[in-house]
Structure 1
Amino acid sequence: MAQMLLLAGAALLVPAGSVHPTTLSLTTVTTAKSVDAGDGVLWVLALGSEAGPGQDVMTGRTDAIQLIGVSWETRRAVAIGLPRDLWVELPSGRARINEALAEGGPDGAAREVDDLLGITPDVVMVTAADGFLSMMGAVGDVRVDSPIGFTTEEGGVRVRRGTNTLDARQALAYATTREGLPAGDFDRAANHQRLLLATLARLRAAEDEVGFMERVALAALEGIDTDLSPSAAYRLVQALTTIDPARTDACIIRGDFGVEFGADVVYPDEEQARAVGADARDDVRLQGGCRDGSG
């Protein structure tokens, strides 16, 4: 899921060589600027793959899609969530955006996000359930604030309104639940962002604990595949671990529900998407708000 972005960078500082199936992938986008840039904004497209245990993460559709921008200078960040059912134009024809990775790889997924928001990701991060569980197990319990109460589809976790303490499996159940949420995929995308912030808060609180970051790094290392250089990895970690959750904006791209070929889809609000992208592109701030009608 999106929050694993913060953990992935730490693992890159350890030499690779694992023979395990890829459970975590970090790939630079072909058309992107250098990740080593010391100023400006770094954009990371974080994808949660539906690939099952033992399967390569690139083979699954993307259940979670978050574009995360980090300002090197201000240490601010923004997360823009894209519901997986957004109906978009892929090279093979119109389809849901969650098929972009399987069809076009990291560059293909990045291209669809660029077409929608007008922002080109620099790095694409992909992880699946097994990698998520491994790394969240190393992170430890996180405290997530929920505006509503619900029971998760898997595991029957009772999430109450207010603060909830979740272990790794509970966090996965929280992140994957859609049924029973008032706004369906829109609420699920917002839950991904809440889990992201909770994980960031946990990392910042525990970074001085002896052995903590090493455990997280080793958990991320198993099954990792990346084309980032060690210096780029260091810059990525340096930027991400200094973000203050209180200085992070968040937005979900909205749209209208519909049906195509018997499948539920969301026709994206392209005006909102372009406006949010233009607002956040240069400074990761949403000074105009989310433009989703929420006030």
Structure 2
Amino acid sequence: MILRIVAVLVALLLVTAVGLFFWIDSRLGGIDNALDDYEGRVADTPGTNWLLVGSDSRKGLSAAQRRKLATGRAAGQRTDSMMLLHISDAGDKPTLVSLPRDSAVTVPGKGRHKLNAAYAIGGPSLLVKTVETVTGVRVDHYMEIGFAGFVDIVDAVGGVEIDVRAAVDDPKAGLKLKKGKQVLTGDQALGYVRTRKGGALPDFERTKRQRQFLSAVVKKAASPGVLINPFTSIPLAMSATEAVLVDEGTGAFDMLSLGLAMGDSPVTTVVPFGGNESVDGGTAVKWDREKALGLFNALAEDKPVPKEIIDAG
């Protein structure tokens, strides 16, 4: 009798899980033309590459929330953070690379700009084209999330534990945190990844916090305590599918692969850089050409990134 009850419960859980999976797939929002082919596009490279973009869209935030989160009232939409995630076919650890938004790059057909200008000028498709052109790595999937979605996802998983390495007091980001491990709410997490306070190179430290946070929130979302509990898994699924935009070819199986990769403690780094360059829009960060080539060539060939390059980031 007990075995029969257990079998029925397991069957119900499986049916519920399958139903939830296809429900999530049906709710994923598509971005048309993000990965369109173009003349001279880099050939397909081994492994799977995701371009993960955090935009500064205020869509979904009330005036009160904008004041509370100190997001300002900027019109339009720009990229606040960009990361390239490489999932190896060879079984190596995934690699997560921050692409500083102020990087000096050539935007196809537009000249030298900061990297985030590609999105402002031509949206996701031009950003993808720019990233592929400057890295030689083919982008297979594109995912984007705005400020409001960011807050909702963190709150849906009950907050995320972060080890804050130094106390932060940044009114511009609506943030005041003590040093040490603590659980951040959605509001606090948004401030944490946006603040430019701390470190000799604020933008460099900012990319570290962004990678630290992304790994932490995905691990929390994929934990049994969240997934098995319908009071957390269903709100998380609703928040994530409302907040996240993906290219039209990305589905729930791809998102599952992304979650597994992020939960696998990926190797994290930032594009090596040194010095500045004047571009259209002001002063931008100049990449260390030799080290950057070493990084992106390794990803394009599905090989581990040399340790000296990882350590540089």
Q: What root-mean-square deviation, in Å, do the aligned CA atoms of Structure 1 and Structure 2 show?
A: 3.3
Task: List gaps (5 residues or longer) in structure 1.
Answer: 1-9
Closer, same or farther in 2 for the Cα pair 1:274/1:196, shift >3 Å?
same
How far apart are residue 80 of structure 1 and its match? 0.5
Closer, same or farther in 2 for the Cα pair 1:182/1:148, shift >3 Å?
farther
Query: 2:102 is aligned with what amino acid?
Result: D
Q: Secondary structure at the match of 1:124?
A: strand
1:49 aligns with 2:55: yes
Comparing 232-241 and 220-229, the one that deviates more: 220-229
1:203 aligns with 2:214: no
Q: Secondary structure at the match of 2:26?
A: coil
Match of 1:133? 151
Query: 1:42 is aligned with what amino acid?
Result: T
Whole-Å separation in 1 of the counterparts to 2:154 and 2:276:
33
Match of 1:100? 118
Closer, same or farther in 2 for the Cα pair 1:284/1:220, shift >3 Å?
farther
Q: Secondary structure at the match of 2:175?
A: coil
How far apart are residue 95 of structure 1 and its match? 1.1
Residues 74-111 of structure 1: CA distance to partner in whole angstroms, max 9, x if unpaired? 38321110111111112222111111112222221112
Task: Note if contact 1:111-1:120 (Cα within 8 Å) is conserved in structure 2.
Answer: no
Closer, same or farther in 2 for the Cα pair 1:130/1:106, shift >3 Å?
same
How far apart are residue 240 of structure 1 and its match? 2.2
Number of residue pairs aligned between Structure 1 and Structure 2? 270
Match of 2:134? 116
Q: Secondary structure at the match of 1:157?
A: strand
Match of 1:217? 237
Whole-Å separation in 1 of the counterparts to 2:205 and 2:103:
14
1:82 aligns with 2:99: yes
Residues 132-186 of structure 1: CA distance to partner in whole angstroms, max 9, x if unpaired? 11222212211123444433442232141x4232110000000111134321111
Higher relative contact order (CA 8 A, sep 6+): 1
Question: Map of 1:137-286 to 2, 5 A cutoff?
Answer: 137-152=155-170, 153-160=172-179, 162-205=180-223, 206-222=226-242, 226-228=246-248, 232-243=250-261, 245=263, 247-253=265-271, 254-260=273-279, 263-283=282-302, 285-286=304-305
Compare CA radii of gyration and give the structure with the larger one: 2
Query: 1:175 is aligned with what amino acid?
Result: V
Query: 1:154 is aligned with what amino acid?
Result: A
Identity of aligned residues (%): 23
Match of 1:13? 24
How far apart are residue 258 of structure 1 and its match? 4.7
Residues 6-30 of structure 1: CA distance to partner in whole angstroms, max 9, x if unpaired? xxxx79725349xxxx8x9587512
1:68 aligns with 2:66: no
Q: Secondary structure at the match of 2:230?
A: coil
Query: 1:268 is aligned with what amino acid?
Result: W
- Give the TM-score taking structure 2 as reference length: 0.74
The structure richer in helix per residue is: 2
Q: Secondary structure at the match of 1:251?
A: strand
Whole-Å separation in 2 of the counterparts to 1:100 and 1:12:
33
Task: Note if contact 1:41-1:70 (Cα within 8 Å) is conserved in structure 2.
Answer: yes
Whole-Å separation in 1 of the counterparts to 2:204 and 2:86:
20
Whole-Å separation in 2 of the counterparts to 1:259 and 1:280:
28
Comparing 208-217 and 100-109, the one that deviates more: 208-217
How far apart are residue 225 of structure 1 and its match? 5.0
Whole-Å separation in 1 of the counterparts to 2:110 and 2:23:
34
Q: Secondary structure at the match of 1:51?
A: coil
Match of 2:18? none
- Give the TM-score taking structure 1 as reference length: 0.78
Task: Note if contact 2:78-2:119 (Cα within 8 Å) is conserved in structure 1.
Answer: yes
Task: Note if contact 1:141-1:166 (Cα within 8 Å) is conserved in structure 2.
Answer: yes
